[in-house]
Structure 1
């Protein structure tokens, strides 16, 4: 039976995921929103002052002016202190990112850039600073209640609220940063991202008829880079309009250069090649970047876990316990996909006709990605070899018979490597004893 899956195209474009991978978007939106908030609050302050002046209640106006003057001192202090506060947070971020990249993997840096807490903290800090400056421009030096034109009391109150929110976010930010400097929370975050990708894949298993004849290919015409994702809904619509089937040639995560075929067009009709979707539409549906992302990449999580485990096994770090923690998560992920359909994903239009075929990693690909490199470096660390033996045994008990071969192959290669690399029989027996804690 062919391991092929089906799902409806997502109505949303990958733009949301692309923006999550940036760090400029959230602060920019926050600055725009705080400017709009300031304009609204300034209008409300002016309306309140005008209403009090028209009522002739000069005592209330003087009280309002007194409150605003007291708030001005606080707002001035906030404006002076926020940039220093932002500098402290930025310094903490740089140190945390540098330590994570050095101790775990450079690909872990994306956890910090995608962190909602980090973005919210910077956004609110910058918004507080900008609002404090804008509020200071609203103060009127006139003290006569009959002539004063502006009393930014509401604006000052909003500034104080943002300061309180900044303090709460600072506590959350420091807590998160300290957590992400430890290997346990990092590998857990990577595993959760991997499961989110897995949850977007369908669970049913079905056969699929062979594709019709290939009539054309669309080459990549943009910059060289890694295929991050494709706009599934757009490609399905384009294929439906022309009554063709599109096939994504490279896998998500492959490196493509200009001229590389990225989309193959299949059509049953004679002369179908004369009625193809415009290449601009197809090309704009393919997103290429400088690095892989989680959006549609099922294997990227295993890639990161393997990288962290390899860094722990390197002589410079020599931390086999980190490798064991990564193996734990690799086993968790592989156990979750042990009975799920893998391979090509077939995207259908609203009539149920297959319009886009997207190749994906199979079971053997995921097993190799998770275990091959760590297994090759596990001979000198009995803790890691013992954990691997337990991992293979556990997965062999879970997977169906047709998926046992990759696991049995890696288990046999590990046994051979230990027998060649460890001279003492007792040490070999110890290194090949399954243990879920490594040495527990």
Structure 2
């Protein structure tokens, strides 16, 4: 087996990040930090004796108003957000988790926790004091204003999450980010690894790693961990399943070639979840776009214009991919030696996920078929010769459907 084209990953490349566990850790840590900071400030500020002082009872009244007001507003906003998430899932896709995983949600929750901790602690710390520092009510007002600004940001983000154009643009942009990370440009690859396109034979298989846990989705792989352990063992780890696929007990996860790496060490780099994420999953954006288009074409909704907008976003992802070097990738260590082989989708899979399902469902929608035909023509122009047969096969099917059912849509407008 020869090694695929090689690239090196640095700290600025999202292909190697295990974002979901780190994000969950940051969310929990931020809330604990905000509560601890509010508790400490609530204990220290009322004890300041110097500077301008205000009546303690007035400061307590301000703290009560701020605490209860922020809590009430946050409760109302989060109640509305649950409805927004439910609406987006019902009208777009149940796999669409853009708003639910947005950092602004857990940051606002951490801020609310901190404001409540400060208000309660400062109220109790004031005790029977007659006066307290003006810093106590001033900080309470600053925190309340900050919370209201964050609430406004959250409201605007929620409104965008129910607007089709914003959702499609967000999915497309996130998909592009993942594709750029997983399929770096030839210039970047050649600069990082000399002779990156030279075929290199991999060592013989020394062991295989199988999945021993429950059935999960392969959400991410900690590529840096695999590179480190493979370098230490002078081995090559070939991951045999793509990110986004389902792992069942007994499924082959990876092959270890050359040296020996314990199975448990390899499996610790595999992140299993119950749902797919954008990180490291090149086809997830195509899957979401196809879901939105299929839902729009369902008999209950029958909205072909939405499917046309979906095809606009799909074309925005396919055209940069048409000339890119697709397929599996190798990851090299600092010396340029191949240490990990990533299993990545090829051209046909992108077409199948992002185009085939949607167009087959649109066989009786001339508007959608006409837009699909233009997509195929434009992407075919950007694709190399080796990928054009797949486009021409689909183009022939679309032309046949239009000729049989809607021949008028095959004619170009006379005023063009």
Q: So what's the TM-score if we normalise by structure 1? A: 0.85
Match of 2:267 among 283, 288, 299: 283
User: Which of 13, 21, 25 pairs up with 1:18?
Assistant: 21
Aligned CA distance change for structure 1 residues 433 and 375 (closer, same or farther; 3 Å): farther
Partner residue of 2:255? 264
- In structure 2, what is the equivalent of residue 188 of structure 1? 169
Q: CA deviation at 1:28?
A: 5.2
Q: How does 1:271-420 map to 2 (within 5 A)?
A: 276-420=260-404
Q: How do 1:57-76 residues align onto structure 2 when only pairs under 5 Å count? A: 64-66=53-55, 68-76=56-64
Please point out which of 117, 120, 142 is paired with 2:104: 117
Q: State yes or no: 1:141 paired with 2:128.
A: yes
Q: After TM superposition, give the deviation of residue 99 of structure 1 in Å.
A: 0.8
1:242 equivalenced with 2:220 (yes/no): no
Cα-to-partner distance string for 1:386-440 (whole Å, 9 max, x where unaligned): 11111111111111111111111111122233445x2xxxxx22234579xxxx9
Per the TM alignment, residue 298 of structure 1 is displaced from its structure 2 partner at its CA by 0.8
Question: Counterpart in 2 of 1:203?
Answer: 185
Structure 1 residues 37 and 354, CA gap change in structure 2 (3 angstroms): same
Secondary structure (helix, strand or coil) at the match of 2:363 reads coil
Aligned length: 400
Per the alignment, residue 152 of structure 2 pairs with 171
Q: Which residue of 2 aligns with 1:7?
A: 7
Which residue of 211, 216, 219 maps to 1:228?
Answer: 219
Paired with 1:278 and 1:405, the residues of 2 have a C-alpha distance of 43
Deviation at 1:35, TM superposition (A): 2.1
Unaligned runs of at least 5 residues, structure 2 = 187-195
**Cα offset, 1:81, TM superposition:** 2.6
RMSD: 2.4
List structure 1 segments (4+ residues) > 6 angstroms apart after TM superposition. none
Structure 1: runs of 5+ lacking an equivalent: 53-59, 146-150, 423-427
**Structure 2 equivalent of residue 429 of structure 1:** 407
For 1:129, the equivalent position in structure 2 comes to: 116
| Alpha-carbon displacement from aligned partner over 1:291-336 (angstroms, at most 9, x marks no partner) | 1111111111111111111111111111111111110011011111
* 2:89–2:95 Cα contact (<8 Å) kept: yes
Rate the CA distance shift 1:26–1:434 in 2: closer, same or farther, 3 A: farther
Q: Is the 8 A contact 2:4 2:341 kept in 1?
A: no
Q: Distance in 1 between matches of 2:139 and 2:411?
A: 63
Q: Per the alignment, do residues 81 and 37 of structure 1 end up closer, same or farther by CA in structure 2, a change over 3 Å counting?
A: closer
